[in-house]
């Protein structure tokens, strides 16, 4: 069950309309590393989880991501604060003018529709947690790029808050992974000597750079230096 609270997860505001930046911010609403993707991924992954504590973690973060999605959509709405006039905007904003009537849409910054293909679900807790850690890191990177491309202090405050929450989620997923890292696919595979070998295929290469055990592929003769 979900419950909608009328107040935003965190207040948002803008110093003034900026439809061009609104189009850029669409990436975090309907893009491959955006808030909707995160919410759907964590919620979908939770359906198979037997550990109730970790299941709750996935659902709690998924619910928060929906709150972030609402924040991003409201910011886009404020940035689009003008009348519909396709002739007055650049090509990057045409989609929201001629199709959406300035409504924040489930599209990315290029106008492509959100797709469930963005969502990664494997049914293996270790794999899904590693995927989520990477997802949060990628989301941070996109927010950092967006942060650098706007001078609006109020928008930057919103992005700063969202960046910090992405890092909080990243840390929570890493903590959960540490608890289960010897289970599932990590328990069933990657346990033989082969899983601990490092093939040095770059020369020159410092010895032991990525582990103590090194090997060359069968039939490979190292060149004479």
Binding site for Ca(2+), residues? 56, 60, 202
- For Cα atoms 74, 153, 151, give the angle at the middle one, nearest 5 degrees: 100
- For Cα atoms 196, 198, 203, give the angle at the middle one, nearest 5 degrees: 170
Known binding-site residue numbers for Mn(2+): 35, 65, 68, 136, 169
- For Cα atoms 135, 138, 144, give the angle at the middle one, nearest 5 degrees: 140
**Is the separation of the CB atoms in 94 and 102 below 8 Å?**
no
Known binding-site residue numbers: 35, 56, 60, 65, 68, 136, 169, 202
Which three-class secondary structure state does DSSP give residue 58? helix
Residues 6+ apart with CB under 8 A from 128: 45, 120, 121, 122
β partners of residue 199: 215
State the Rg of the chain over Cα.
22
């Amino acid at each position: 069950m979900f419950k909608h609270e009328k107040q935003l997860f965190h207040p948002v505001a803008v110093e003034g309309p900026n439809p061009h930046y609104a189009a850029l911010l669409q990436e975090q609403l309907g893009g491959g590393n955006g808030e909707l993707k995160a919410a759907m991924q964590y919620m979908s992954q939770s359906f198979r989880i037997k550990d109730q504590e970790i299941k709750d973690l996935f659902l709690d973060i998924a619910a928060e991501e929906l709150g972030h999605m609402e924040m991003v959509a409201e910011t886009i709405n404020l940035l689009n604060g003008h009348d519909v006039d396709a002739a007055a905007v650049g090509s990057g904003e045409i989609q929201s003018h001629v199709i959406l009537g300035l409504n924040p849409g489930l599209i990315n910054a290029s106008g492509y529709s959100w797709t469930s293909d963005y969502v990664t679900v494997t049914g293996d807790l270790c794999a899904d947690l590693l995927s989520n850690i990477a997802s949060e890191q990628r989301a941070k990177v996109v927010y950092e790029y967006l942060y650098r491309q706007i001078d609006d202090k109020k928008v930057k405050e919103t992005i700063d808050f969202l960046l910090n929450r992405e890092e909080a989620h990243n840390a929570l997923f890493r903590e959960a992974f540490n608890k289960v890292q010897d289970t599932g696919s990590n328990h069933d595979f990657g346990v033989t000597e082969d899983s601990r070998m490092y093939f040095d295929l770059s020369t020159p290469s410092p010895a032991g750079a990525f582990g103590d055990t090194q090997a060359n592929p069968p039939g490979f003769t190292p060149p004479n230096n």
